[in-house]
Each structure stands twice: as C-alpha cells, then as structure tokens.
Chain A
C-alpha cells in the first residue's frame, strides 16, 4: 500500500511556513511504547539515586525591583536522564517556593497538606517550567498581608522530598527591592 508521504498528494516545501517540510526525521523515535517505562524505571532505579539526574532552578528576569512592583520568577525542574524518573515527596504538595524561608511568602501556615506520600514524576528528559509571581507582600495572618521592606530578599524553591537540600533538590536566588 502506498503511503501518503510516498505520493505527491501533499505539497511539501522547506521554505513555505505552512507547508510540511521535505526533511526526513533524522533521529529514530526512542520511546518503546509497549514498555511501561515509568513503572520499569521505578522498579529498576533505587529511591536513593532518583534525585541525582533532577535539577532545580529558580530565576528572576531582573535583580532589582522597585517597591510594589510584582516580582516574576521562573522555576525549572529538569530530568537529565533519557528515562522517566519519579521522586517520592513527603506530601501531595510536590514542590514549594519560599521568600526568606516563608512558604509562598506566608509567615503563617495557610494550608495543611494531607499526611500521605506524593510523587513528582518526570518523563524522559522532561523539563517542567512554572511561572510564578511575588507581589512583594508577606501574609502575616489568615487574612492580613504586609508589604516587604526594601532590601535583599531570597526566593527559594525546593522539591518537597526528604533531605531536599542535601540532595540538591533546592535552589535560590536573591532580589533587591529598592524604594
């Protein structure tokens, strides 16, 4: 049976933006769809080694922000291995961000995650990117917020795993708030 790509039924053009290209795929598909690779990876890679290929990064577009200006930051969690990896977490809360050590810039505990394990799963070579924003406010009680003082503040990110810091599953960056 002649396939569609062997016929001339489809107009192909490398220059034209909306036409399919003439180039053939140079790399072979790597996934073996018949193999449950995540389960296999969980079975073969011991828990104590699973953190090794995972990196955590946090970055802000600028180092300095004016008072009251929202501070955007980007969190990148990446699996460098070409096989799926899952990291067990202490609760269903998979990762958290902090400002000066305060989870989600709250000086009070605003939520109490259930007492059960979670799992942060990465596909092979997967990069997870999350964009967050800190409004330069600290939550000081259930219903009150206060503005952050001018000066240097640390935005940190950590995967909610046991010994995250020792295992390199954290990162932090500093920003300066100028009046």
Chain B
C-alpha cells in the first residue's frame, strides 16, 4: 500500500469574478521514503495541492471531488479531530514563508515543543529536551540558549530551519515542503536542502517537495510531476524528465534555466504568462504559449497519457504526459532536441534546447 494516494482531486474557489479551478482532476502517488517533486510556475496549483493534502483549504475554496488516501484512509472523510491528530504528527508541512508560519508572540522553542507535547504525550521537560536536540540537529547554533528566542531574533535561514525542526518534531511519515527555500539565498538553500534530505533519509520520511526550481528537484527528488494551470502535464522519474522531457511545457521550463557553460546569447523563455484560472483557454491550456501548437490543440483537451503505449495514464504509469502528440499525433510533431553536456551521471548536468538544431 502506498503512503499517499491522491485520486481525481478537484479544488475550486468560488470568487466574485468566477470559479477558479485551482486543481483539476489531479492524481498521484507517493511511496514510503520517496521524494516526490511538484514543479510549475506560480499559479499552477502546487500550493493548493499541498494544502489539500492537509485539508487546509479555506473558504471560498472547496475540495469538490476526489480522494486523498493516507495509509489507505481517506483524509477527506475524517472528522476535524481525526485530521488534527494527523496534521503535524503523521503529515507535517514546511511552509514557504517561515516568518509568517511562526507565531511572533511565542518563543521558537515553545512553538516546536507544543507540537511534541500535543502529539507525543511528552512532559514539558522532555519536549524541551527534544526541541533543543532538534534545533541542534538542523544546525541552530547554541540551541539551548536559542530555545527561548522569539522568531524576530532568528535570521531568515534560522527561521526556516526552525520550521524544518518543527516539521520533523513528531517523526512524520510525510513532509509536505512548499517551496522551503524560495526566500533564502543559494548557499543557505543548499545547506537546508542537504539537511532536509539527510534528515528524511535518517527518519525514512517521504517528502512532497513543491518548488518552481528544477535544479532543486534534480538534486533531491526521485519522481516529478509538472503542473500547469491546475493540471498535471507530465509525470516521470526525475532522470527521465531531465533527459527525455515529453511535454512542451517541461521543455520550456528546462530551456529557461540559465547554465554556466551555456553558449546561447539569450536565455530561452516561455512566451506569455499562465492563463487566468477563471477563464482557461479551450483545448490544451498550454496551447497559447506552445511553439508546437496546432489547430486541434485549441479544440481538444489532452488527457494524461502513457508516452510509450499512448493509453490513458494510471497511477502506475512510469512516464506520462498530457499532449495530443501521444494520442492523436501532431502533424508537425514535437521538434525539440535534448543535448547533454558534461558527465551524464548527474541529472542536473544535462541541457535541453527547444526547437534548435545544433
């Protein structure tokens, strides 16, 4: 049995402007100990997916349909007290903005210890001891003295580490990390990602890592799901996604990563912006920005398909993409090439070019 199975999840927000379909018919699975990446631009529905897993969607948002099975039990059918016993205990979350996630009027140590006391029935002394141990583990210097510091006395990197310590405090089975390093500089980012991976390996914890940084995904994850306008457009093991991307959006994301040894004068970007989720384009949502789009892309919405067999993808499908090329076939095809430079053993060492022959 998988640790987490999300089936046909649809989340909508009923606003004055119209209905925002933030997540549309999304399915994925996370195995025990697996590091699963969710990537996409801002507004792709990554954070809403993460919040749905913890049932933290607030009004006017509604989880309209689907199932979220955690260890075989549907989280959407649980009572509020049942889900509260899972939040922070079996599934914990690392929020994007640590400063906002921490309560400014309580000490950092106190906030971490509270979760330990609540979920693990520790006495306050035991919880304090464990908190100090965790703060030390995530690299907070002089953890014992910093226990009683307030969030404003911590730097951004330290606040993020404190949030990671909080997420790890109850030995969760799954950590949902929503852009854990977005607000940090690259050196701190690398340290925190290393710590997160190390700690997850040590505690055999699964991670659902949400980011818009493909470099971070390459470093950490085993499998990746690329999201666009609330829908999954490609799902693949990380190496396959980097060496053999199948969806034009993934190709666009890859080619917009700057590289040190890049010979191109200008960075290739994906033209346009993510569509308004209230008014999605007809057919494939990506067609207005896709360099390979044809008329049929404006008329037919592609479903997630096994790229090998062309059959509709299931949760077991290894590599799937949502492009008509893999079902009906595009008359011009997808004419991009993937070029690898340097050693081919690291996923990050590859190089993807969209529609360029060299």
Contact = CB atoms under 8 A, between A and B. Distances in A.
Interface in A123-161: 128, 130, 132-133, 135, 137, 139, 142-146
Given A92-B14, A145-B298, A146-B299, A139 B60 contact: no
A132 B300 contact: no
Contacts of B299: 137, 144-146
A93 interface: yes
Contacts of A114: 62, 64
Nearest to A94: B16
Contact of A92 (B62, B282, B298, B303): B62
A85 B298 CA distance: 41
B17 interface: yes
A86 B64 CA distance: 25
Interface residues on B, range: 20 to 34
Given A113-B14, A132-B279, A144 B19 contact: no
Interface in B277-295: 279, 281-283
A132 B17 CA distance: 9
A145 B19 contact: no
B282 A128 contact: no
Interface string A84-95: 000000011110
Contacts of A118: 14
Contacts of A144: 299-301
Contacts of A94: 14, 16
Contact of B282 (A93, A112, A130, A145): A145
Contacts of B19: 93, 111, 113
B12 interface: yes
B283 A133 contact: no
Contacts of A143: 300-303
A137 to B, nearest CB: 5
B64 A112 contact: yes
A135 B282 contact: yes
Contacts of A132: 18, 279
Contact of B60 (A92, A128, A130): A92
Contacts of B14: 91-94, 113, 118
Contacts of A111: 12, 19, 21, 64
B279 A139 contact: no
Interface in A60-95: 91-94
A104 to B, nearest CB: 8
A178 B275 CA distance: 28
Contacts of A91: 14
A143 B298 CA distance: 10
A130 B300 contact: no
A128 B64 CA distance: 27
A111 B62 CA distance: 12
Interface in B14-37: 14, 16-19, 21
Nearest to A112: B64
Nearest to A89: B14
Contacts of B12: 111
Contacts of A146: 299
Contact of B300 (A113, A120, A145): A145
A132 B280 CA distance: 11
A115 to B, nearest CB: 11
Interface string A106-122: 00000111100010100
Interface of B: 12, 14, 16-19, 21, 60, 62, 64, 279, 281-283, 298-303
Given A93-B19, A111-B64, A144-B299, 12 more contacts: A92-B14, A94-B14, A111-B21, A113-B14, A118-B14, A130-B18, A135-B281, A137-B282, A142-B301, A143-B300, A145-B299, A146-B299
Interface of A: 91-94, 111-114, 118, 120, 128, 130, 132-133, 135, 137, 139, 142-146
22 contacts: A91-B14, A92-B14, A92-B62, A93-B14, A111-B12, A111-B21, A113-B19, A114-B62, A118-B14, A130-B17, A130-B18, A133-B279, A137-B298, A137-B299, A143-B300, A143-B302, A143-B303, A144-B299, A144-B301, A145-B298, A145-B299, A146-B299
Shortest 7 CB-CB distances between A and B: which pairs? A92-B14, A143-B301, A145-B282, A145-B299, A137-B282, A135-B282, A144-B300
